[in-house]
Amino acid sequence: MLEVKIPGRGTIRVRHLVLDFNGTLACDGMLLDGVATRLKALAESLDIHVLTADTFGSVARAMTEVPCRVTVIGQEQQAEAKWKYVHELGFDQTVCMGNGCNDVLMLRDAALGIATLQAEGCAGVALMAAHITVSHVQDGLDLLLNPLRLKATLRA
């Protein structure tokens, strides 16, 4: 579990980290440098879930050494599928990271939504739905590894 008290906002207590794959953890289907190491460290305190349409057919191979649950979702109604998945985990117990239109609902309703702005870009609606935007997924994962950074960014 990750717990951080945010002045003026209360305490965030989360058990799950839900991540988009392409555009967030990977570019063109290839896992980004430094991501696996950070996810392995986070897996000691959070259950990690990767949700993807697996556009490049590479998620299983890319995530083999990362302790996580990979779920491939269909090509239609992806935003709703991701939202439903996080709803079942519990929004108040989940941090979500993503960059696309299909990530908006989960970013908006999660205890903490983090939008990533990388090589594939970030949908404007995802930026607006997130609590925090980072320039790279490594920075977002580092926020969770160093939660006092969250306090500095989110305090009211």
Q: Convert the pLDDT of each residue in 93-138 to its tens digit.
A: 999 999 999 999 999 999 999 999 999 999 999 999 999 999 999 9
pLDDT in tens, 26-53: 999 999 999 999 999 999 999 999 999 9
9 compared with 96, residue with greater pLDDT: 96
Whether the CB-CB separation of 22 and 55 falls below 8 Å is answered with: yes
Angstrom distance (rounded) from CA 4 to CA 13: 7
Whether the CB-CB separation of 14 and 47 falls below 8 Å is answered with: no
Could you tell me what percent of the chain has a pLDDT over 70? Answer: 100
Whether the CB-CB separation of 150 and 4 falls below 8 Å is answered with: yes
Angstrom distance (rounded) from CA 51 to CA 29: 13
Angstrom distance (rounded) from CA 100 to CA 154: 22
Q: Measure Cα distances from 62 to 21, 49, 57 in Å.
A: 10, 14, 10
Domain count, the chain: 1
Geometric angle at alpha carbon 1, from 156 and 127, rounded to 5°: 45
Task: Find the CATH number of the domain harbouring 107.
Answer: 3.40.50.1000
Instruction: Give the mean pLDDT of the chain.
Output: 96
| Domain span including residue 59 | 2-154
Whether the CB-CB separation of 139 and 132 falls below 8 Å is answered with: no
